[in-house]
Amino acid sequence: MIFNRLFCNRGILIQNFRQHGWIGILYLITLLFSLPLYIATEYRDAPQQITSLFQANGEVQILFAITLPVAAGIFLFRYMQSGASSDLFHSLPLRRKHLLTVNLLIGYAMILLPIWITTAITGWVWAVLDQPAFLFDGSTIWMWGLSMSIYSLFMFMLTVAVGMCMGQSVLQGLTVYALLLLPVVVWFIMSLHLQHYLLGYPYDELGRNSEMSLVLRMASISYSPITNGELIIYSILAILFIPLTYVLYARRQVESATQAVTFTLVKPIFRFGLMFTLVLIGGAYFTIIAPRGSAGWGIFGYVLGGIVGYIVAEMIIRKTWLIWSSRLLPKLILYGVVAGLILYVPIAGWNGYAARVPELNKVHSIKLGGESYTYSNGVTQKKDDAHLYSNDPEYMGAVIALHQKIVDSDLPLLNDPINPSMRDDEYVFINYKLDNGKVMKRKYYIPEAEFHQELMALKQSHDYKRVAFETYKLEEDALSFGIRAATSSYRKVYISNPEQVREFKELLKQDILDQTYEEQRSPWQSFAYVEMNQDSSSKDPFQPKEMWNFEIKPSYDRVLAWLKEHKLYDQLLVQADGIVSAQFVKQEINSPGSLQWATPQPEYIDGSLSIKKQVATQNKEIISDLLKRQRSGYLTERDTIYQIKLNVTRGENIYMMLKEEDLTEEMKAILVNE
């Protein structure tokens, strides 16, 4: 009886339902439309096998899970943020713990009942559908209900806990979403900072860390599966917020209603949090827009962001723009020193990060390259990379020798942290699996000329070529090979005879592994492209096969001889007799400080008939030379190239490109008067 009167006060229950019950009803309607109705009305020619119901319109479901529970938390405790209503509720003959309990129970009911009603209806729809668009089992339904419950409870309890520290509902809502985005913003911009100022920092992509924020999770939920660890973390946080809320509510002053921040202890945390966030954003922005080689821009951005962030935080706390006092500047300096230390300590030379190279006897194995992901059954998952590690002493010694020279050299820090690969010749991503079980990663962009000997020793090793050119796939069974000429997509051949497949596969593997360093860096276009088809391990009917791509370079003597022996070579070869004429257009690239891709550009030559002088020839000798000499695309700031178009008698015209130095004497002769 006492429990019902105090903890489940009927008057407050009825009042809250009348005022805020619409949130629970709206939550139920939106969930019904986004899941069971979507599943029931969706039509597909072939049903899709899914492992999570979030693969069926999951973005919309998460959108409601991160908005309506927040609305419930704000509206149910709106009385704390207004002076009159706060005085009224706190004058009732109820202790604060009783008042908080009844509001929390109402909130739980408003967000959990819609989820489990939707779960039950989804189960019924799944049972009665004759031709479903999605195939899944019963455990998938209950897992969806559990996940949505955890996400919704986390958002609700986070909102309530934040509300205890804030005296304004609008600021409460903004702070909730700011806290959700804060880990991602800090991680992303700190990673950018470390990449720019810490040599070797292995920068990963933002999209792979979307689990850090439910707001970003909304974009990846349909293809990135929910992990048990993710649910456990959100469950623990939601549970921890409950006692924290009781403690904060017991100590909250009634007169703090309408204040921006209600606790004195929270004010410096809020002030520094907002300031440091704007420090990072300001530094990142000016680092991105800075001219090449202008290191001072990033530092200016950090300082400007700190000043603006501190002033904005102070104005929010005081609720006025008249914030100047004798204590303002010393506080700003103190906060600035703390922020500066946080930025400086990780990149300081004395911490030894940039100079650390592991000893060979302490390394178990090494992998070059970043993480790989696969998309199967509508889900993106990280590939197993155990087979990519090598413990060959020669290979590991070559990697460590290269790493040591990078550390010892006067290699400049990145001038362009957003597109670093545009600036240098070679990309090196080293993964050391140490004997103590840890993985040490380093990432560099280096000029090839300075590290030529070390790169040659590494890239001519068997284990490097096995991984870099994926020849380990050629050790597996294959169904067939499709080969397409590099010059013309109409020139194709197929190999499906099991014996020929085995022969071709083995020869291709040998030619790849026998490549010299110079052949790997050849500027000339490949002769043909190969597609290897394998049986798929996926249960997705839309992925019946797995495909792997390889190249046939002009230096692959075994493969080319085999193609000639089986009369397939001529089917891939474009003959000069099939070319009517060749057109040349000179193109000057002149963009100092900004690298441009020099590639064959059909629109450049086709769109220049009236504005640029073209030279055409029907000389079969020149046309034959062009068919043998096609340069691959490359990056340059300044160069002279020739865009070339071969007009064919049948099929699509062929577009190619040559540098001025690539031209034969016959080509120069017809272009001399251009």
Tens of pLDDT, residues 611-642? 567 888 899 999 999 988 888 888 888 888 99
pLDDT digits (tens, 9 = 90+) for 55-71: 888 889 999 999 999 99
Percent of the chain clearing pLDDT 70 (strictly above) = 87
| Listed residue (363, 371, 425, 372) closest to 398, CA to CA | 363
Within 10 angstroms of residue 462's Cβ, the number of other Cβ atoms is 13
pLDDT digits (tens, 9 = 90+) for 498-557: 999 999 999 999 999 999 999 999 888 899 999 999 876 655 555 556 788 999 999 999
645 near 604, Cβ under 8 Å? no
Beta bridge partners of 250: none
Give residue for tokens 């497949």: 501
Give residue for tokens 């993480």: 371
Residue 127: pLDDT band with limits 50, 70, 90: confident
- Average pLDDT of the residues in 405-423: 64
Question: How is residue 31 written in tokens?
Answer: 């969930």
DSSP SS3 for 593 = coil
Residue 9: pLDDT band with limits 50, 70, 90: low
CA distance 484 to 528: 6
Give residue for tokens 């991984």: 467
Beta-strand pair 492-495/528-535:
unpaired
Question: How is residue 474 written in tokens?
Answer: 């050629």
Q: Which range among 11-20, 189-198, 567-576 has the greatest average pLDDT?
A: 567-576
Residue 153: pLDDT above 70? yes
Beta bridge partners of 552: 528
**Which amino acid belongs to residue 454?**
E
Give residue for tokens 């039509």: 43
Give residue for tokens 């340069």: 631
275 — phi, psi (to 5°)?
Answer: -65, -45
- Average pLDDT of the residues in 275-294: 82
CA distance 594 to 216: 32
pLDDT given at position 610: 45
Of residues 203 and 235, the one with the higher pLDDT is 235
pLDDT given at position 211: 63
pLDDT given at position 135: 85
Question: How is residue 115 written in tokens?
Answer: 């989820």
pLDDT given at position 76: 87
Residue 7: pLDDT above 60? no
Alpha-carbon distance values, 500 to 422, 509, 512, 546 (Å): 41, 14, 18, 19
pLDDT given at position 398: 94
588 near 604, Cβ under 8 Å? no
Long-range contact set of residues 310-318: C-beta below 8 Å, sequence gap at least 24: 310/271, 310/275, 310/335, 310/336, 312/274, 312/278, 313/270, 313/271, 313/274, 313/275, 314/271, 316/171, 316/260, 316/270, 316/274, 317/260, 317/261, 317/267, 317/270, 317/271, 318/260
Exposed / middle / buried, residue 425 (Cβ in 10 Å: 0-12, 13-18, 19+): middle
117 — phi, psi (to 5°)?
Answer: -65, -45
Residue 191: pLDDT above 70? yes
Residue 596: pLDDT above 60? yes
DSSP SS3 for 414 = coil
Of residues 23 and 6, the one with the higher pLDDT is 23
The string of DSSP codes covering 542-562 is T--EEEEEEEE-TT-HHHHHH
Question: How is residue 506 written in tokens?
Answer: 């083995």
CA distance 351 to 65: 43
580 — phi, psi (to 5°)?
Answer: -80, -45
- The pLDDT mean for the chain works out to 84
pLDDT given at position 217: 80
pLDDT given at position 68: 94
**Angle separating helix axes 10-34 and 58-65, nearest 10 degrees:** 160
Beta bridge partners of 441: 431
Give residue for tokens 């010059």: 487
pLDDT given at position 544: 53
Question: How is residue 103 written in tokens?
Answer: 């509001």
pLDDT given at position 604: 86
Task: Look up residue 192 and give its DSSP letter.
Answer: H
Residue 207: pLDDT band with limits 50, 70, 90: very low
CA distance 234 to 226: 12
152 near 65, Cβ under 8 Å? yes
CA distance 205 to 202: 10
Q: Which range among 93-97, 380-384, 593-597, 661-665 has the greatest average pLDDT?
A: 661-665
pLDDT given at position 258: 66
Exposed / middle / buried, residue 619 (Cβ in 10 Å: 0-12, 13-18, 19+): middle
pLDDT given at position 254: 67
DSSP SS3 for 478 = coil
Residue 650: pLDDT above 90? no
pLDDT given at position 199: 85
- Average pLDDT of the residues in 120-127: 91
- Average pLDDT of the residues in 146-172: 90
Q: Based on C-alpha coordinates, what's the Rg of the chain?
A: 32
Percent of the chain clearing pLDDT 90 (strictly above) = 35
pLDDT given at position 542: 52
CA distance 287 to 296: 9
The length of the chain in residues reads: 674
pLDDT given at position 421: 47
| Maximum Cα interatomic distance, the chain, rounded to a whole number of Å | 105
Residue 304: pLDDT band with limits 50, 70, 90: very high
CA distance 383 to 548: 15
pLDDT given at position 209: 59
Lowest mean pLDDT among 374-388, 462-476, 497-511: 374-388
Task: Look up residue 485 and give its DSSP letter.
Answer: E
Question: How is residue 151 written in tokens?
Answer: 């996400």
Within 10 angstroms of residue 136's Cβ, the number of other Cβ atoms is 22
Residue 155: pLDDT above 50? yes
Task: Look up residue 631 and give its DSSP letter.
Answer: B
Exposed / middle / buried, residue 289 (Cβ in 10 Å: 0-12, 13-18, 19+): exposed
pLDDT given at position 138: 86
Alpha-carbon distance values, 416 to 110, 285, 290, 430, 635 (Å): 50, 12, 9, 20, 15
pLDDT given at position 440: 93
Alpha-carbon distance values, 417 to 193, 273, 430, 518, 546 (Å): 9, 25, 18, 29, 35
pLDDT given at position 516: 93
pLDDT given at position 67: 92
Measure the N-to-C terminal CA separation of the chain; round to a whole number of Å. 101
- Average pLDDT of the residues in 323-346: 86
638 near 596, Cβ under 8 Å? no
Measured torsion, CA atoms of residues 562, 563, 567, 570, in degrees rounded to the nearest 10: -140
Within 10 angstroms of residue 153's Cβ, the number of other Cβ atoms is 24
